[in-house]
Amino acid sequence: MFAMSLIDSGYRFGGKNPEAGFDCSGMVAWIFAQATGLRVSGSAADIARAGRPVERRELVPGDLVFFNTLNRPLSHVGIYIGDGRFVHAPSSASGRVRIDTLNKGYFASRFEAARTYFD
């Protein structure tokens, strides 16, 4: 639910808070810190390496989903919210935090991994 409150927040490369705008990893780090007190940092790939692998069919809300969006493994991250959907800060082109789906469209073919930070 906390991630949903950021829908339509602005995008900014390197952004780490709602006032400045978010990039994908900054959004995840901010949400995790605010909602759970858990500190994650670094790039999407750094965040992926620190999490525990989860099978796609076992995703639960709060797990992280990773994509290859820049011809680079694990270059984008979002927070799974259930029903095949995730919240993310996609790019400066779209300009806003939004919800997308894992099962169709641009991100379906670019899905690479899922990770959890929770037991």
Active-site annotation, residues:
24, 76, 88
Please answer whether residues 111 and 100 qualify as being in contact, where contact means their C-beta atoms are separated by less than 8 angstroms: no
Burial of 117 (0-12, 13-18, 19+ CB in 10 A): middle
Burial class (CB in 10 A: 0-12, 13-18, 19+), 41: middle
